[in-house]
A = this chain, B = another copy of it.
Amino acid sequence: MSADQTSQLLSNWKNSLHQHGYRVTRPRLQVMEIVAATRIPLTPQDVYHKSLNLESPPGIASVYRTLEMLDVLGLIQQIHQPGGCHGIWPAVDGHKHLLMCRNCGQMQVIEGNEEITEYIRRIEEDTGYEVDEHWLQLFGICSECSK
């Protein structure tokens, strides 16, 4: 996430708060800045501990409340991690798949493809299920970490 992208995200998020009648407060901004800038998924505890570096950190309750709010607004999504759940990650537009480095935690968003859609359609026929959501998460080692 570049600095540009982060501030872009932040201003979108602030707009979303305004549009939904949420007040834009300092504790909320502090949490949003941390989450918008992260390159790896963060737990609520992670966010709280990062915030402690700030001059006047938010209370732990406000961290949870702000993350809950961001989730309700669809601005963040939960990432299910191997051996530990959940991390927080800025939501991506539309449906995307995720790739995560086991070593450094770095997340990468990858595009879906037509074969998977077709595969799922076949599953629906075979099982009689109506599939309305799918997760595809890939795990491995990024090129940086495998050097």
Contact = CB atoms under 8 A, between A and B. Distances in A.
A74 to B, nearest CB: 14
Given A123-B110, A135-B135, A135-B136, A101 B129 contact: yes
Interface string A128-139: 111111111111
Q: What's the interface size class on A, roughly?
A: 35 or more
Number of chain copies forming the complex: 2
A135 B137 CA distance: 5
Given A115-B116, A119-B113, A119-B116, A99 B138 contact: no
A14 to B, nearest CB: 26
Interface stretch (A18-26, A31-39, A79-87): A79-87
Interface in A107-147: 108, 110, 113, 115-116, 118-120, 123-124, 126-143, 146
Given A115-B118, A116-B115, A139 B131 contact: yes
Given A127-B142, A129-B138, 9 more contacts: A78-B83, A115-B116, A123-B138, A128-B143, A129-B141, A130-B141, A132-B140, A134-B137, A134-B139
Interface of A: 78, 80, 82-83, 85-86, 99, 101-102, 108, 110, 113, 115-116, 118-120, 123-124, 126-143, 146
